[in-house]
Structure 1
Amino acid sequence: MGFKDVYNLVGGFKQWSGENLPVLQYDNNHSPWVHTVFEKETETAQYIVTDVESKEAYIIDPVLDYDPFSATVRPTMAKKILEFITKHNLSVTKIIDTHVHADHLTAAHYLKDLLPSKPEFWMGSNVTKVQEVFSQKYNLPGSQLSATGQQFDKLINEGDTWILGENIQCSVLSTPGHTPACMSYRIGDAAFVGDTLFMPDIGTARCDFPGGSAEQMYDSVQKMYKAWPNDTRIYVGHDYPPANSDRSVIVTTLGAHKEANQMVHEGISKNQYIDLRKKRDSQLRAPRFIHPALQVNTIYGSLLLLLADFPTIFLLIFLDQPTRWPSSC
């Protein structure tokens, strides 16, 4: 019937100790509970990752709802995350943005302010490179945007390891290509890759932003392919399914990407990928919210937006907590 790796277990589970049957040694690494909250406006997947035993949890890539016409922000999605955390009595210790997003405003600071556990906000250490690029693009002086990463509670580097709960092993890979600061987090058997990989029928994220690189993206994906087991669950940052798709689950395995990712499966060479990626990127428009998103997400999530092309200071109105203005106001 087309199935592979089928075995006859005559003799029961004792047979697994034999040399002729596949055995995966227990590596003291439990599987986290992953809950997805999908934000349809920017088609962003937000994740709550939990160790069920201790109820310690992380929030990954949370979104603030933004209306560009009225320049207002509403925490509709963030409130859904808070409701889920309250319902299950979770203790959030970390909020992680996989990179500096160009298509939505991060809800990290909003959530951090409201959560009693006061979680740390984590970002990849190469965020300083992104800050340097956009401080020049938006003509921001050092007093407005210090390109040191000090706006975040902790900067993460490749090779860092830690534990969720008591026994869920966590690690991180630096996966630049979409942006210089992109990081991919493996939490137990689940990996959160941000905009590095999309679902296999889509491929990867674009590489034409300042600091982006198709060459680096290919190398990043190959690093991922080599570092993680094939049964690693891959949770992507966005999903753009075909119009006729009924896809409701946006997770697959690393092995499925190796076999079927349309842009970077194992049979694709670097030059082939670069050609595919550059051709696709040439057809894409800039994200709708790129300017407010980049400014808010690099200036510590402040609600003050400075646009260098205009002598005007744009102020976002936060409809949920009107007293939360930055000190510079």
Structure 2
Amino acid sequence: MTIAANPETAGERGGLLRRMARANWLLLALPALAFFSIFFVYPLIDIAMRSLQGGVVNYERIFGTTLYVRVVMTTFEMALIVTVCCLVIGYAYAYALSATGGYLQVFLTLALLLPFWVSVLLRTFAWLVLLQNTGLINQGLLALGLIDAPFQLVRNKFGIAVGMVNILLPYMVLPILSVMKGIDPKLMLAARISGASYLRCFFRVYLPLTLPGIISGCVLVMTLSLGFYIVPAVLGGGRDTMIAQLIADQITRQVNFSFSSALAVTLMLFTGIVFALFALSLRLAKKRLGG
């Protein structure tokens, strides 16, 4: 009887220990859940409720007014442009970092990370000084005789793109670099030995392996670009207003918290759509690599 009862007793004790472990896990997670609920979930709910004051009139105003629709389109257009530019530049930079060593790698790493120590506002005004008609770039081109009149490099989408790419480039390089560091160099060597050209090795072997880093970097850059305020405000023009500027204007000048909340909710919804699209892309990429 004692032998037969021992397994049941052990099972009961095991179940009790598992329940205690789950209870302890919940107790440990409770402070984090409370902090997240108070400082993240509640403000989002409050913004959503404010945006619905008076019904859906604020959302009808956003999507029924050409000006606001153009602001939303400009925001996503600039975010897409900046993401593509960061991807092209950042991929090459990450590849150079992963392929080099010694002092050159240290120099490239410092060149990438040192700007983090400089204020975003200061870097933006530095670009304003460089890109304006009397700035160093235009004056240098004029002195060399390459142009007859200064280029309009600021107060337009070009100036916004330059400033945002400069600030967001590290967020593209670091995720891609972390993936590249984990790729065995012998894979490319094996593909070359098998008779594939360098370009074929890159596009069929190396590039697919770096897709997780590419998608992670694109998600970071895209989502950060959607909420940018300082760079468009300083380097942009009147026709290149982005949604963060519009929200700030509605709060500070118009004191219209209801409409600004609706704009914020619209931005969050579109950002969620971007996240969903990138998640779908990552899933399809993993399926293709798995196949």
Q: TM-score scaled to structure 2, two decimals? A: 0.25
Q: Which has the higher contact order (CA 8 A, sep 6+)?
A: 2
Higher strand share: 1
Higher helix share: 2
Q: Which has the larger radius of gyration?
A: 2
Q: TM-score scaled to structure 1, two decimals? A: 0.23
